[in-house]
Chains A and B, each alone.
Chain A
Amino acid sequence: MASNPRIANPVRSAFAPGERDDTVVVSIGPSHPATHGTIQIFAEMDGERILRADVHCGYLHRGFEKECESHTWHNCIPYMDRLNYCSPLINDFAYCDAVERMMGIEITRRAVVLRTLLSEYSRLTDHITCIAASLMELGAMTAFLYMVMIRDYMYEHIAALTGARVTHSYGRIGGLAHDLPPGWLARLEEILVQSDEFVGRVHGLVDRNRIFIDRMRDVGVLSQADALSYGYTGPMLRSTGLAIDVRKDTPYLAYPELDFEVPVGIKGDNYDRYYVRMREMDESVHMIRQCVDLLEDGPINVDDRRCTFPEKPLVYGEIESLINHFKLVMEGPRVPAGEIYVAHEGANGELGFYLVSTGEGVPYKVHCRAPSFVHMGGAHIMLEGYQLADLVPTFGSINMIGGECDR
């Protein structure tokens, strides 16, 4: 890689080219369309077959933890979006949930149901992105265009609510940024109907397609034992047959009240991962509709001066609210000293936040347990022994999101 002597080599491969003279070491990435951003895989190849794979991540390490240590608890929320940027609301709400539990705050009923609804909505966008990208890399451009079109409707719809299409920063400690605009729920139902239709079309295009099955069935197989040992959670673990889901096992938000099933696969190969994600999208749509029924009127933010900004008329009207607002902005909400680990079910698996507070308005440590990072640790199992061309669908089905992996 360092053909130009003034450009240093950022990584050291686990195996050197030329160790064996019957193999070739190929560096795939880190600027590569199939590695979804910035992953580098050194593949020792015997012809078309990958003998050993050395996966390198970290090319998108942006210093998220260090940044959070110099921002207030509120100001960290935009950094959370950019972790798993395909499902940003799940990250927002997981972090806000962790801070709220440390502060001993219980959010309002409306916020609970809305957070559940939006988490599932974000899960939809994440699975759509994963499926669209991996199908496109197999050559199914039509499926990509269908999925991205429906994802665009969702982005515009969420932008009508949060103000941003992709990185929303909508969660707040104590609730949400603001309430639903009028007509939002009606448009939601329209989008869900269209989403069902488009997902059905994609099923029709690829499910029984001979080429798709040949490329995905029995490729990238992950056994249950390996999956547990390498810390896999989420759709990857469920594709091996284990029905383990944080929403069912250690439920949070409104999930105990929702009726949904957890789809599992049979073999743990690429086809199962694709199908588990498609079924999870159906379940998410079902859950969103249930949340719409559960939604009641009420306040969005808990009425707690420790974290919720007072209403503007009060801020300009009375001195206590003015000082409250000032302190919340300048110093941040004071979170009692201690530590907490909270896990939500991200689109990729168990998304955990380990927070340490010393009682200040600025966190002492914000650590994100990122499912994608842990999955990269075991990715070599799914790549070794298969062909180079199989790396593309396998990697696509892992759904490595760079922001979450490297943080």
Chain B
Amino acid sequence: MGAEVFDRIETRLADGEGEGQVLAPAGVSHGILVLDLAPGAVAGAARALKEEFAFDVFLDVTAVDWPGQDPRFEVVWHFYSTAHKVRVRLKARVAEASPAVPSLTPLYGSAGFMERECHDMYGIVFEGNADLRPILLYEGFVGHPLRKDYPKEREQPLVPYREGFEERG
């Protein structure tokens, strides 16, 4: 049953209206359908998944940083359908200069917090999410720690250390 709904999704999204859709042939990776999209097509694809294919649970959005490559960031979304009991992964590449993707907050309430986390950690801007305050980091934190060029031990203390202790850079 999983394979059958995957075929329907592929067909539907391959000839969807609008900007360039599926960039690479869809594959099934360890039981999950993976679709590579252009960033502008993600909102339309997510809407199609939710409304036509009953992907009612938005599981996760995160990003992967490929510093040597251009576009640098790969934003990854996971969806789950309680009816079909399958998961789908959408991926989109964005460049470092303008790391913007559409926000899924109009479709799913859970997108709010998860997009804030992705923004904190990687600097991905979710257009349409009005609230991109830091969630895991704090006000005044400069930089995006999960990017590969952020040194792991560079700390930005909010409270100055007592005498005799030094900050790690």
Contact = CB atoms under 8 A, between A and B. Distances in A.
B158 interface: yes
B30 A231 contact: no
A382 to B, nearest CB: 13
A6 B82 contact: no
B82 A12 contact: no
B62 A354 contact: yes
A165 interface: no
B26 interface: no
A181 interface: no
Interface string B139-169: 1100001100010100000111000000000
A187 interface: no
16 contacts: A8-B159, A10-B140, A11-B134, A12-B133, A14-B133, A56-B135, A101-B30, A233-B57, A340-B30, A341-B30, A341-B60, A367-B60, A369-B60, A373-B114, A374-B110, A378-B109
Interface stretch (A63-71, A121-129, A148-156, A269-277): A63-71
B29 interface: yes
A138 to B, nearest CB: 28
Given A6-B160, A373-B117, A341 B32 contact: yes
A226 B60 CA distance: 17
Contact of A367 (B62, B109, B150): B62
B159 A7 contact: yes
Contacts of A242: 82
B110 A341 contact: no
B136 to A, nearest CB: 4
Interface in B98-138: 108-110, 112-114, 117, 121, 131, 133-138
B108 A340 contact: no
B109 A226 contact: yes
A354 B138 CA distance: 25
Contacts of B10: none
Interface of B: 29-32, 56-60, 62, 64, 76, 78, 80, 82, 85-87, 89, 108-110, 112-114, 117, 121, 131, 133-140, 145-146, 150, 152, 158-160
Contacts of A56: 135
Interface residues of A, number: 51
A343 B158 contact: no
Interface in A194-213: none
Interface in A332-351: 338-343, 350
Nearest to B85: A249
Contacts of A354: 60, 62, 76, 78
A61 interface: yes
A369 B152 contact: no
Interface string A10-29: 11101000000000000000
Interface string A202-239: 00000000000000000000000010111101000000
Contacts of B160: 6
A101 to B, nearest CB: 6
Contacts of A9: 139
A406 interface: yes
A342 B30 contact: yes
Interface string A85-123: 000000000000000011000000000000000000000
Contacts of B137: 58, 61
A352 B78 contact: yes
Contacts of B134: 11, 58
Contact of A231 (B89, B109, B140, B152): B109
B101 to A, nearest CB: 17
A83 to B, nearest CB: 14
Interface string A356-400: 100000001101010001101110000000000000000000000
A10 B59 contact: no
A205 B100 CA distance: 54
B122 to A, nearest CB: 11
Nearest to A58: B136
A67 B146 CA distance: 10
Given A11-B139, A343-B87, A350-B80, A231 B29 contact: no
Given A11-B138, A70-B152, A377 B113 contact: yes
A136 interface: no
A141 to B, nearest CB: 34
A341 B89 contact: yes
A31 to B, nearest CB: 14
Interface centre among B64, B82, B85, B136 (most CB of A within 10 A): B136
Contact of B56 (A6, A228, A341): A228
B123 to A, nearest CB: 15
Contacts of A258: none
B153 to A, nearest CB: 10
Given A244-B82, A341-B32, A376-B113, A12 B139 contact: yes
A101 B30 CA distance: 8
Given A341-B78, A341-B87, A63 B152 contact: yes
Nearest to B34: A339
